Amino acid sequence: MTLATLADVGGTNTRVALAEGTRVRIDSIRRFPNAEYQARGQDIAQVLRDYLDQTGATVSGVCVAAAGPVQDGIATMTNLDWVMDGAKLSAATGARKVAILNDLQAQGQALGHIPEANLRTVISGPVKAGATMLVVGLGTGVNAAPVHPAPKGRVVPPSECGHVNMPVRTEEDFQLARFVEARLKSEGEVPHAGVEEVLAGRGLANLHAFAAYAAGHPASLTSSEVLAALDAGDATAAHAARLYVHILGQMLADLALIHLPYGGIYLIGGMSRAMTPHFARFGLQTAFREDRRVDLLRKDFAISVVEDDYAALTGCAVYLNNAP
């Protein structure tokens, strides 16, 4: 039996598992706190060594999904001082077959291998088998990438589109962009109103701060506090959520016209799940299916939320299994 080890390296924890072919052994998944390893001057290599020591497994392949850019086979973590390459992973595991993916690429590789029970449709539409798909990450950061079919497996190009400009269509959008830029500047950050500043976890907090300012009673809440206030019926939180859904719908519409994902659009990440119960109330479908000079948005492209905690690990398994 040939085994591979897989790792999903997030900003806080690393999840490691074993796989047989494209199947992840769910009972083999273990979590490792990144901060503890970093405090000891260790990184993903030691995490993998510890995992294999604990399980006693011998593996022939290793694939890591990293929350950060991957260039020339080298991954640099966005929120950790970790850098990883094939030589490091091979030395840590003894594996000859090595792959490193951006976490969004891993999610894209998982599409088609996720149980239907873990997919929640939020906008219905036709889904064409074998067509290009789009995966959109809404979590600590924001990113999106097309998933193109290939003769063997998929091609999921890297992307950093969370840093494109937020869509500005209304006077309120313009005021919001200026507010976010001023807020970032006051915090010593680059004053750029990218989509990540309004759709990532911290984005909902920025939207609430704007809504509170507009209402004449400035306030500062975390995103989790905004979500709690929203559930409690708070009007300012509702204003922030309406802005979130409005901006998300605009961004998804733009991405749909750029990539033509007739195979579906798939939302991943903690913010997509947290906001799912509010999409219908605040008009995601209306924002997405607005009238434009082409009528594609009015009839095409289904949108689903991925509710699978282990999708990135599945994507690693699929990619490694299909790699030469």
> How many percent of the chain have pLDDT more than 70?
100
pLDDT, one tens digit per residue, over 284-293 is 999 999 988 8
Residue 209 · residue 183 · CB < 8 Å: yes
Phi and psi (nearest 5°) for 313? -65, -40
Q: Which residue has the tokens 């891993």?
A: 106
Helices (H), the chain: 34-39, 44-55, 86-93, 103-110, 171-186, 196-199, 201-214, 223-231, 235-259, 270-275, 284-288, 296-299, 311-322
Mean pLDDT of all residues belonging to the chain: 94
- The residue-averaged pLDDT of 59-73 equals 91
- The angle subtended at Cα 216 by Cα 210 and Cα 221, nearest 5°, is 45
At the topology level of CATH, where does 116-307 sit?
Answer: Hexokinase; domain 1 (3.40.367)
pLDDT of amino acid 150: 86
DSSP one-letter string for 114-157: S-GGGEEEEE-----TTS-EEEEEESSSEEEEEEEE-SSSEE--
Domain boundaries, the chain: 4-109+310-322, 116-307
Query: Mind spelling out the 3-state secondary structure of 105-125?
Result: HHHHHHCCCCCHHHEEEEECC
For residue 1, name the pLDDT band (cuts at 50, 70, 90): low
Please check whether the domain covering 4-109+310-322 is classified as CATH 3.30.420.40.
yes
pLDDT tens sequence across 260-313: 999 999 999 999 999 999 999 999 999 999 988 888 888 899 999 999 999 999
pTM of this prediction? 0.91
Give Cβ neighbours of residue 186 (< 8 Å, ≥ 6 apart).
none
